[in-house]
Structure 1
Amino acid sequence: MENLVIDTAESVTTARLLTPAELGLCVRLFREMRQWSQEQLAEISGLNVRTIQRVEQGLAASLDTRRALAGAFEFEDLDVLNKPFAIPTEEELKAQKAKFDREHVTLTALPLTTGKQLAKLAEAHMMDLSEPGFELEREADDAFAGLVDYFREYRDCADLYTESTKFEVYDELQSRIDGLKALGVSLRYAERKMQVKWGADPDAKPMPVSVLYVVAFPLGKEPDQFATPKSGGIRF
């Protein structure tokens, strides 16, 4: 996810700390640009939802809260929200939002709940982009990686299965999905049509492909949409 850059350098504009109201506006903007709910931001930052709500309402936030929010938005300097900087104008904020929109596409996130459903999706797509939408604990991270490895292996040899032997795959995928749910992880998927060029020939004709996204979210805090870069690595 691309970060919004805050300029902390000296400028003709007098640098100063954000007021609580300005901080609240920035936090809401950063959150909405990423298509996160307040609950998702709370999960990622390690703060509670009530704290996120208070910050976005323009109420005072502690130094630790500001550091947690900077970490959630992946700023390299965790104290950036505690330091003076030039306040961006409304036009600058709109330009940053327009840049983000140009470089990202918003996809509809659909529930992924059964092994058969995932197997059929794997069969229907020759490419995927699968990743956690938040930081997973080690056990859940291993479980998600195992699920992705399994359905990719199945995708590569699905044509070798008979309709009756596919039930074993459905059951195995279901077990892995249920295991993730027990660890507090819910799955969402999205589909996207893309044009892909093969090889290094600049004159090569693009080929239309359908890409599958499988994304892990906190159970009970799944978004209806998520944003992803328009270009990036794809797994075969």
Structure 2
Amino acid sequence: MNTTENTPPVRLLTPAELAVCIKVFRDARQWTQEQLAVIAGLNVRTVQRVEQGWPADADTCRALASAFDFLDIDALNKPFAIPPEDELKAAQEQFDLEHVTFAAIPLTTGKQLAELAQTSTMDMSELAFEMGGEADKRFAALMEYFRNYRDALDAYTEAEKREAADTMQANIDVLKTLGVSLCYAERQVLLKGSSDPDRPMPANVLYVIGFPLGKEPKLFATPTSVDIRL
């Protein structure tokens, strides 16, 4: 078999294809055209024209790639291997099968986080993008404090609970000054232990995700099943 026959042709995106890509990327983040224009540093009319299939110059493509956090800001100016439509559809179906999607709820107060300690059994928390050393340290400190609070919640007096919420609020405020915005979601799962896999244990998983301030999505996805060692 000639493998080159199954290799998609490499070429630049047409203006119509670029329009679809930009709209898909924007919709995935639940941004309006106005929000994308602000983040990319472009005129909103430029974004509208790109999504209408008008040709875009190299600088516009770089600005859009940067807004979507492409590692290579010239990616949209380079040739692509374009898969056929059936392959794209199959890839989307496979992604949907392997992932679950949540609404990203803004987490803005220490009181919110303190209340989540009462309902969550465990958490899976991370910064969605590389934020820098200080932001990484502050986020890790916040989540470590949260876990310690959750694990010893029954021992806290009401006054101590209010103090804990204030401490978490202070960390959230610092993260905001560092350009980090927090979102959360909760998920009911069944944990299967290696000792007794036939008797799964119910758990409520809390996801706390840090996004760049102003680039918070309305949805995020996570793998359907996760290997957690207890």
Category of TM-score, reference length = shorter chain:
0.7 to 0.9
Is 1:213 the counterpart of 2:207 in the alignment?
yes
CA-to-aligned-CA distance 1:191-215 (integer Å, 9 cap, x gap): 11112101255x4222221110111
Q: Residue 65 of structure 1: which of 62, 65, 89 is its match?
A: 62
Number of matched pairs: 221
CA-to-aligned-CA distance 1:111-153 (integer Å, 9 cap, x gap): 2122122112123211111112333132222211211111112
Between the aligned partners of 1:37 and 1:174, the Cα distance in structure 2 is 27
Q: List runs of 5+ in structure 2 lacking aligned partners.
A: none
What corresponds to 1:93 in structure 2? 88
Between the aligned partners of 2:83 and 2:165, the Cα distance in structure 1 is 52
**Residue aligned with 1:223, SS:** coil
Do the aligned partners of residues 149 and 162 (structure 1) sit closer, same or farther apart at CA in structure 2, a change above 3 Å counting?
same
Between the aligned partners of 2:127 and 2:36, the Cα distance in structure 1 is 13
Do the aligned partners of residues 11 and 60 (structure 1) sit closer, same or farther apart at CA in structure 2, a change above 3 Å counting?
farther
**Residue aligned with 1:105, SS:** strand
**Residue aligned with 1:226, SS:** strand
Identical aligned pairs, as a percentage?
A: 49
Is 1:178 the counterpart of 2:176 in the alignment?
no
Is 1:83 the counterpart of 2:79 in the alignment?
yes
What corresponds to 1:21 in structure 2? 16
CA-to-aligned-CA distance 1:57-111 (integer Å, 9 cap, x gap): 4433528829956x94679xx85972352x2222222211111111111111222
Shift of 1:216: 1.4
What corresponds to 1:168 in structure 2? 163
Query: What amino acid is the match of 1:62?
Result: A
Q: CA RMSD in A?
A: 3.5
**Residue aligned with 2:131, SS:** coil
Please report the TM-score for the alignment, with normalisation by the length of structure 1: 0.75
Between the aligned partners of 1:10 and 1:134, the Cα distance in structure 2 is 36
Between the aligned partners of 2:213 and 2:107, the Cα distance in structure 1 is 12
Counterpart mapping for 1:9-48 below 5 A: 10-11=4-5, 14-29=9-24, 32=27, 34-35=28-29, 37=31, 47-48=40-41
What corresponds to 2:134 in structure 1? 139
Do the aligned partners of residues 72 and 146 (structure 1) sit closer, same or farther apart at CA in structure 2, a change above 3 Å counting?
same
Residues 18, 84 of structure 1: 8 Å contact kept: yes
